[in-house]
Amino acid sequence: MWTTGIITALAGLGSAIAVLWLVRRWFYSMVATARAKLDALAAGRIAKRVDDRARFFGVGSKSAAQLRGNGVLALYETELIFVQLMIDRVIRIPIDAIVEVTTAKSFKGKTIFRDLLTITWRLDGGTETVGLFVVDLQGWLAALKQAQPSASAPA
């Protein structure tokens, strides 16, 4: 009698592992698709920095009801590009248009209780801000500061 319970439990565990494996495989295929889209947008440029696990928290000009999600963030010589995985969202920020790079505990009322990267840039006569979670926040802050045209100008 108890052997039936063990067999049922093992079958359930096997099914759960199979589902997790399929979800992981699906997620990595989504990342590969986003990377391919990013490569096409980059047109042969080499990224200085890439984060395959960046998370989008929204843009400042839209409501709080924006669809958050994972994506790929890449820094190039002249541009920062974010490609979201689940929806067709691409954010392109020219490096020379960035006016502020900072951190925040939340963005548009959403938080994960970790610091987020916030970037403000000039856009169409005004400014726009994006909130992102990145794995190596301090590394991204340093890379974006170094990429700024004013950072490389002689004093």
Q: For position 105, which CATH number holds?
A: 2.30.29.30
Over 90: is that where the pLDDT of 22 sits?
no
Q: What is the mean pLDDT of residues 45-52?
A: 93
Greater confidence, 34 or 122?
122
CB distance 72 to 57 below 8 Å: no
Please tell me the total count of domains within the chain.
1
Domain of 40 in residue numbering reads as: 2-152
pLDDT for position 152: 46
**109 has pLDDT over 70:** yes
Mean pLDDT taken over the chain: 86
More confidently predicted of 127 and 44: 127
Question: Residue 153: what pLDDT?
Answer: 45
The amino acid sitting at 137 is: L
Quickly state the pLDDT bin for 154 (edges 50, 70, 90).
very low
With a cut of 60, say whether residue 151 has pLDDT above it.
no
Burial 12-23, CB ≥16 within 10 A → b, else e: eeeeeeeeeeee
* Predicted pLDDT at 155: 42
Element (H, E) at 71: strand 69-75
Q: Average the pLDDT over each of 35-39, 43-47, 82-86 and give the range with the smallest value.
A: 35-39
